[in-house]
Structure 1
């Protein structure tokens, strides 16, 4: 049951006053639901706020909530009978029949997965799980870029300096070397543009080399995705959308949306729409990101007929996607209204923003290795086998990374502190894993949990927090965000820890109360497991 929706429904039905879903909220200080509706609405009803509150209090009726008036404020606590029923039920989430494409990760061929790609990967993967949990038909899409000057620069460098296939860092090292060489010798730039042309025409003399680079890149990407437990329903390559993109450019030239400048570049006329003009074709006829993104949007809709298509990339591309979406709208593509871009803030190194062009890059493997080392330090004194420590360190490292990325709103920049994010006590993923291990240990030690039970106010306080989960998940779904779920989970484990420190469970002499406490802890377990399912964080047997 979504309690916020239930409260709104009961309030309107019994009082006849019309509210919005934003009028009610959970008050953590009072451990109940509250509203300041009367303060906001009294003036429009020619009433005093406290008078309106009294009128609402006299009329309010619900089989779930009890109302207590505090002057102009109304507070709603859950009835004892609700908790009894809540323990008997499974979580029931709102379901929506919607077809959604979520595009995420999308690294460039020839580059290692760096922490920026991983932020996109983790955000997109969690949104996929959130949407599927709410009944959506989700297509997870990985759009790999291999056309354009970056891959052409790499191919030029490999041809000039050789391809040492035994070097695991060969591609990024040769890219940085080639880029430096071209910056110092601009006369090489036309050679790179010729390679771009050949790639667009099927690869030409570079096809064999491009195929090697592609295969090596995909193998490396898949190793990272396996560690993250991430998979995709489709993997696409931007070279497959060049032709369709150019067809749309031709269409735009005919209807006047696009123009050619004096240098021969084709650009979209967007200034009168409040956006900068956007180049969609080079003067040599080769495509750009914009060209291929237009072709991708067209062919993707033909394939999936989606209700929504969400593209997760760095916020640096916010303007680019506003331009692309506007072009599609001006081309008369109805699906343009279903396109959405989620931009995320960058993760910075001490030197500044990551740049593989200059060789300052934090790869996923670098981060994963550092996290594992830190976790191994923390569990060094545990009497686990070598393999157990290996498995735990990997799972906790992934948890630390995912939670550190998801606990912030997507648009915020992140400074990554390995020691802090691996803590078992801070605002971290390992903290959630650790508390779930504690809960499972308690339940494993318990005898059979019987049906006859009683609850004290302590259990009801903890269950109140469990009961918020469906509302939190719906809020995340409707607003396409994850950080409120992370905030909720941290609060839940804090309330659980306080509860467990203050109340006997296994040693409680009253059998019915002990049973009630075990059932309450089972509910906390179910809540945490549902959170970890959305975050795609592994559940551990020991830590």
Structure 2
């Protein structure tokens, strides 16, 4: 990281540590003021001088081959020696590999990520994309910076809704329709149940009876339940395959059924349970929060009991040092309650339970509802995105080989990138036409920049052969123009973008970085001649091109997006 290198060099001249200087260094608002600026307020108290005086006195003392320095009021502005900095950095980072190196922040600590978690017999809607792909990106980003990442798909496979699903299946189920399209058929049955129950309240009673049978282990109820699970998992897997998402563990809510009573007993032994209107709760009044319900008045458990059990299992059995829950922002209160109850149980690691909330995804401003049948199926959105991409490819490159495979990568990549580019906490109003666009701040724009880089590198190999590949001699004396320099500065910022994305659990930081890097590359490409006679300058520029390709490729892959070499 360039800023860290400068901080380390300055540390040998200033009465500050490299870390203190690194934290203080700023990027000037105007490029003509320099590449980095050090505000001298940080030195004022130490040297007992005003910042402007310090800047004026220290500027001559900090002269170096590595930079020019001048005082500007209370600031020391550093203008780096572009050719020297670029040559030193590039020579130690051959083939772009050094640019994608990342700091070992995680140091092997295990992070368990709860993500995706669709409900059995319910559609995988466009709204499920958020938990799935935010979680997937964090899984890869955290692994890149040294964490041992484990992802868990916590399927919603338990609850009173299964009593309703069984009743609906027995009343109106059509096995042929279910075989043809299980999830849509099950959704239709679920919606019909809620429509019919208004006029036939006995259906609600039947649903409760069937769920009671399921909880009691009734064989017939279990057979229906297992059918719903098997059909749903098959359909979900098709979507995960298209999205390129893999799970280390797929554990439904039912996995914890036989483990919850021990947790309730521990809470009771610790004196944390209190009766409230017939229910057993852990009071959190001193935190200004409503009580956390552990047992309902009828003696049954609730999802808080299940999530406490899940957290304990992930820490004690799965060995999680940190537990992330990529779950919608509407569950913020719930996860605060869970963390506080764990803390009162004497679990010091409760501070490492982190909710990673995200906003709603809407279609044309409309919130989706499973119960009312207002769902936009993710698969239909992906299919449409792929068709849009195919039309664009037909316009740009009709003779492209494997165009359908490329369209799949572009279309799905567009949908994923379009989501991840937004700060996760914001609501997203999904617009397909804007998302599948080769111009603007989109996934296809970054993918196209990567494909252009591959064409340039292929041409270099064809025209200059192995001589170009083996060359270690290059000079940035003629390749330190503004466009090359701006691209270089974007490249060296890659590790910092990774670190920030991880620290904030915010994949949009990396997505935004990739957009800006692709933009810097395209400006460089438009304004610079690369294939020139001067082999030293040509090699220098091709090294920049190669490093850009490495950053774009890895960055997109960390976000779960494929990189076709030709579009």
TM-score (norm 1): 0.93
- Name the CA shift for 1:161/1:429 in 2 (closer, same or farther; >3 Å): same
Of 475, 484, 503 in structure 2, the residue corresponding to residue 454 of structure 1 is 475
Q: Which runs of 5+ in 1 are unaligned?
A: none
Match of 2:85 in 1: 82
Match of 1:324 in 2: 338
Of 268, 272, 276 in structure 2, the residue corresponding to residue 261 of structure 1 is 276
Q: CA deviation at 1:344?
A: 0.4
Q: Which shows bigger deviation, 349-358 or 29-38?
A: 29-38
Asked if 1 retains the 8 angstrom alpha-carbon contact of 2:364 and 2:431, the reply is no
Match of 1:114 in 2: 125
The alignment partner of 1:525 has SS state of helix
Q: Which shows bigger deviation, 383-392 or 158-167?
A: 383-392
Asked if 2 retains the 8 angstrom alpha-carbon contact of 1:34 and 1:73, the reply is no
Q: Which shows bigger deviation, 513-522 or 26-35?
A: 26-35
Of 520, 538, 541 in structure 1, the residue corresponding to residue 562 of structure 2 is 538
Match of 2:524 in 1: 499
Q: CA deviation at 1:145?
A: 1.2
The alignment partner of 2:555 has SS state of helix
Of structures 1 and 2, the one scoring higher in RCO (CA 8 A, sep 6+) is: 2
Match of 1:142 in 2: 153
Asked if 2 retains the 8 angstrom alpha-carbon contact of 1:5 and 1:21, the reply is yes
Where do 1:292-311 residues align within 5 Å? 292-311=306-325
Of 173, 179, 184 in structure 2, the residue corresponding to residue 166 of structure 1 is 179
In the aligned structure 2, how far is the partner of 1:133 from the partner of 1:539? 18
Superposed CA RMSD in Å reads 2.4
- Name the CA shift for 1:70/1:230 in 2 (closer, same or farther; >3 Å): same
Match of 2:71 in 1: 69
Match of 1:17 in 2: 16
Match of 1:280 in 2: 294
Q: Which runs of 5+ in 2 are unaligned?
A: none
The alignment partner of 1:112 has SS state of coil
Q: Deviations over 1:30-82 (max 9, x none)?
A: 28643463256647865322223234434547786554433323333443333
Q: Which shows bigger deviation, 470-479 or 497-506?
A: 470-479
Q: Which shows bigger deviation, 192-201 or 332-341?
A: 192-201
- Name the CA shift for 1:351/1:457 in 2 (closer, same or farther; >3 Å): closer
Match of 1:414 in 2: 428
In the aligned structure 2, how far is the partner of 1:233 from the partner of 1:28? 45
- Name the CA shift for 1:485/1:56 in 2 (closer, same or farther; >3 Å): farther
- Name the CA shift for 1:175/1:67 in 2 (closer, same or farther; >3 Å): farther
1:429 paired with 2:462, answer no
In the aligned structure 2, how far is the partner of 1:338 from the partner of 1:161? 47
TM-score (norm 2): 0.89
Of 516, 522, 528 in structure 1, the residue corresponding to residue 546 of structure 2 is 522
Of 163, 169, 192 in structure 2, the residue corresponding to residue 152 of structure 1 is 163
Q: CA deviation at 1:252?
A: 2.0
Q: CA deviation at 1:163?
A: 4.1
Q: Which shows bigger deviation, 342-351 or 54-63?
A: 54-63
Q: Which shows bigger deviation, 215-224 or 288-297?
A: 288-297
Match of 1:51 in 2: 53
Number of positions where the alignment pairs a residue of Structure 1 with one of Structure 2: 540
In the aligned structure 2, how far is the partner of 1:386 from the partner of 1:210? 47
1:360 paired with 2:379, answer no
Of 197, 220, 239 in structure 2, the residue corresponding to residue 205 of structure 1 is 220
Q: Which shows bigger deviation, 77-86 or 450-459?
A: 77-86
Q: CA deviation at 1:286?
A: 2.3
- Name the CA shift for 1:242/1:48 in 2 (closer, same or farther; >3 Å): same
- Name the CA shift for 1:505/1:533 in 2 (closer, same or farther; >3 Å): same
Q: Which shows bigger deviation, 17-26 or 430-439?
A: 17-26
Q: CA deviation at 1:28?
A: 7.3
